[in-house]
Structure 1
Amino acid sequence: MERAFWLRAPGECELRPVALPAPGPDDVVVRTLYSGVSRGTESLVFRGGVPASQHAVMRAPFQEGEFPGPVKYGYLNVGVVEQGPLTGRTVFCLYPHQTRYVVPASAVTPVPDDVPPARAILAGTVETAVNAVWDAAPHVGDRIAVVGAGMVGASVARVLAGIPAAHVQLVDVDESKATLAAALGVEFATPAAAGGDLDLVVHASATDAGLARSLELLAREGTVVELSWYGDRRVSVPLGEWFHSRRLTLRSSQVGTVAPARGTRKGYAERLAVALELLADPAYDALVTSECRFDDLPVALPRLISDEPSALCLRVMYDST
């Protein structure tokens, strides 16, 4: 009998026994090595903040149950294939927190040999960053800010840091994130100290203040790419002031849809492959700020969400690791 992490109701979580289905000829049985908690999205689910209109949109690929709960939710899982095609390979899957699981072989992606399994849990987040950068379409030498140094914002900053001659600053109200910025190879600034006259801002703070500051930082004809997911919260956007006179653009980026510039020839699999290739870079280790054992997850997750506002990814370790 295996076990899975469930949100029983908003704010209440537990481990439940799971009986695995018999695998078919095209299925794989995966033993989980690590899973990751994406603090932003999973905290929204934890507090029951997914609006009814978005229940279908927010549904994870292998989610069980319905919002607001009971629900088995999660999408950062790395394990080893014990049966079926790819036996013996370490793979990434968009699967919740569970000790073992059975999925179609097409649902898993082999982890490259040069990417440690413990780091590979970030593949889903870095894949979001890849799509955001495709949406943003930065140019060589651009002046860029990423506002919000959470998991997604930090991942975007690292991807953008690879653009030749680009000047990238990571902006956050938490001054301790300067250490994170240094590890990612970008500059750090508080919102008040951030340099303006920018070509591009990627907003990922999920706050009204962060979005307003993102617009303020733009040069004429500049663009804000909005990555934040606000759930059931309404957002105030300052479309007066400089918005029209500077001819600014506010554009959404949505992880479920490949950027139009790439969509005709690249899908999810290609995007995830790029993310896993990027994860050979040890700089991404800075995104994992805490660890716990799977048995302790029902205690660790509420603590992470309520008591550690600067936390990024919580890495969950299983008995096999």
Structure 2
Amino acid sequence: MTERDVAASALWCVGPQHAELREADLGEGVLVETLYSGISRGTERLVFGGAVPESEFVRMRGPAQEGDFPFPVKYGYSAVGAVAEGERTGQLVFALHPHQTSFRLPEHMLTPLPDALPAERAVLAANMETALNILWDSNAGAGDRIGIVGAGVVGALVGYLAAKLPGSEVTLVDTNQDRAALAHTLGCHFASPADALESCDVVVHTSASQAGLHTALALAGQEATVVEASWHGSALVEVPLGGAFHSKRLKLVSSQVGQLPTSRTPRWNHARRLTTALELLRDPILDTLITGESTLSQLPGEYGTILNDPATLCHRVAYPTS
């Protein structure tokens, strides 16, 4: 047993809006020394605030979660590290794991990074995997006019992928005008919710707000699909099903990364999807989605600010190397 086997430290949410570093169980399997982890702002904000509904306590468990909802709980799912033992020593891998200095996981849960993908950018893998699943659920195709309401990390990545569909016209819609530059960098147009957009073939909602969902439904054209990709936790959201909702014959579809679309399951599994997500991150332009970095030791004091700052996209956590 190494020193790390008895001294791993992790971020724990221990009460509403309160986090601290505590010792953590390493688990079983291959030892990995963490280099970076990524904060998934939307989901982790709900966990940090104790807003995970009791009905979702089991479904929301992360693969390496320790503790139980609501508190205390060790939560997170975007870690990049180096294998520290065995034949794979030194290999860079991605794992669905909370913010922790080192950990053990079964070998099949460690996905090697592709060549030319730096560990610093690989923390976006879980978000890219979600974006890929959303695009599949939307059934967006070549030439479609696509609106994405909410230019956070997931929304921006959906836009990035959708903009690569031949002939597509993709617009990121956000209340934050500063996201216009991000949209253009990713090959998308930008609009505020008040801007008039032509009727869209597909609309994706990722803002996790009631107002954003209303905007998404308003942008949808006749018989268009609206994908609700936000998770609202325990919040109750009013959905405007009056007005033109029925006459336009809109389709409101949920998307959640925990399960692949049924049309993909004959050929795809979670491992293939994650491998593909990592390959899609090889584009250096995606570094623009990393908007800040803290060390793990700084994280307890900064966590609330990071999660509640609307300017935050992906905030990266760095770990000291021995």
Identify the TM-score tier after normalising by the shorter chain: over 0.9
For 1:311, give the aligned amino acid.
T
Shift of 1:84: 3.2
1:305 is matched with 307
2:17 is matched with 11
Superposed CA offset, 1:8-45 (max 9, x none): 11211111123646x5xxx2100000001011110010
Question: Which whole-Å CA distance do the structure 1 matches of 2:265 and 2:256 have between them?
Answer: 13
Write the mapping of 1:194-209 to structure 2, written as runs, cut at 5 A.
Answer: 194-209=196-211
Question: Which whole-Å CA distance do the structure 1 matches of 2:87 and 2:59 have between them?
Answer: 30
For 1:309, give the aligned amino acid.
P
Is there any run of 5+ residues in structure 1 with no aligned partner, and where?
A: none
Classify 1:64/1:177 alpha carbon distance in 2 versus 1 (closer, same or farther; 3 Å). same
TM-score for the superposition, normalised by structure 2: 0.96
For 1:225, give the aligned amino acid.
V
What fraction of aligned residue pairs are identical, expressed as a percent?
49
SS at match of 1:112: coil
Superposed CA offset, 1:98-132 (max 9, x none): 11111101111000111110000100010000111
SS at match of 1:98: coil
Question: Which whole-Å CA distance do the structure 1 matches of 2:56 and 2:196 have between them?
Answer: 34
Question: Which whole-Å CA distance do the structure 2 matches of 1:222 and 1:85 have between them?
Answer: 51
Question: Which whole-Å CA distance do the structure 1 matches of 2:49 and 2:241 have between them?
Answer: 30
Question: Which whole-Å CA distance do the structure 1 matches of 2:12 and 2:79 have between them?
Answer: 15
Classify 1:244/1:91 alpha carbon distance in 2 versus 1 (closer, same or farther; 3 Å). same
Classify 1:31/1:241 alpha carbon distance in 2 versus 1 (closer, same or farther; 3 Å). same
Question: Which whole-Å CA distance do the structure 2 matches of 1:86 and 1:237 have between them?
Answer: 50
For 2:171, give the aligned amino acid.
Q
Shift of 1:182: 1.7
2:8 to 2, 21, 31: 2
Contact 1:135 1:261 in 2 (8 A): no
For 1:131, give the aligned amino acid.
N
1:152 is matched with 154
Contact 1:4 1:15 in 2 (8 A): yes
Question: Which whole-Å CA distance do the structure 2 matches of 1:114 and 1:129 have between them?
Answer: 21
Q: How many residues align?
A: 316
Contact 1:74 1:95 in 2 (8 A): yes
1:98 to 85, 89, 100: 100
SS at match of 1:83: coil
Shift of 1:86: 2.4
Contact 1:91 1:111 in 2 (8 A): yes
SS at match of 1:261: coil
Contact 1:149 1:170 in 2 (8 A): yes
For 1:90, give the aligned amino acid.
L
1:318 is matched with 319
SS at match of 1:315: strand
Classify 1:50/1:281 alpha carbon distance in 2 versus 1 (closer, same or farther; 3 Å). same
Write the mapping of 1:64-79 to structure 2, written as runs, cut at 5 A.
Answer: 64-79=66-81
Question: Which whole-Å CA distance do the structure 1 matches of 2:110 and 2:25 have between them?
Answer: 20
RMSD: 1.2
Question: Which whole-Å CA distance do the structure 1 matches of 2:66 and 2:52 have between them?
Answer: 15
Classify 1:68/1:51 alpha carbon distance in 2 versus 1 (closer, same or farther; 3 Å). same
For 2:124, give the aligned amino acid.
L
Superposed CA offset, 1:186-209 (max 9, x none): 111101115131100011011111
Question: Which whole-Å CA distance do the structure 2 matches of 1:172 and 1:313 have between them?
Answer: 17
Superposed CA offset, 1:195-228 (max 9, x none): 1311000110111111111111111110101100
The answer as to 2:215 corresponding to 1:213 is: yes
Contact 1:147 1:203 in 2 (8 A): yes
Classify 1:140/1:13 alpha carbon distance in 2 versus 1 (closer, same or farther; 3 Å). same
Write the mapping of 1:153-172 to structure 2, written as runs, cut at 5 A.
Answer: 153-172=155-174
Question: Which whole-Å CA distance do the structure 2 matches of 1:154 and 1:84 have between them?
Answer: 38
Question: Which whole-Å CA distance do the structure 2 matches of 1:7 and 1:219 have between them?
Answer: 42
Which shows bigger deviation, 149-158 or 90-99? 149-158
Superposed CA offset, 1:245-272 (max 9, x none): 1111100011101011111110101111
For 1:140, give the aligned amino acid.
A
Question: Which whole-Å CA distance do the structure 2 matches of 1:81 and 1:276 have between them?
Answer: 17
2:32 is matched with 30
1:115 is matched with 117
Superposed CA offset, 1:73-99 (max 9, x none): 000100000113522210000000111
Classify 1:318/1:28 alpha carbon distance in 2 versus 1 (closer, same or farther; 3 Å). same
Contact 1:20 1:101 in 2 (8 A): yes
Contact 1:171 1:194 in 2 (8 A): no
Is there any run of 5+ residues in structure 2 with no aligned partner, and where?
A: 1-6
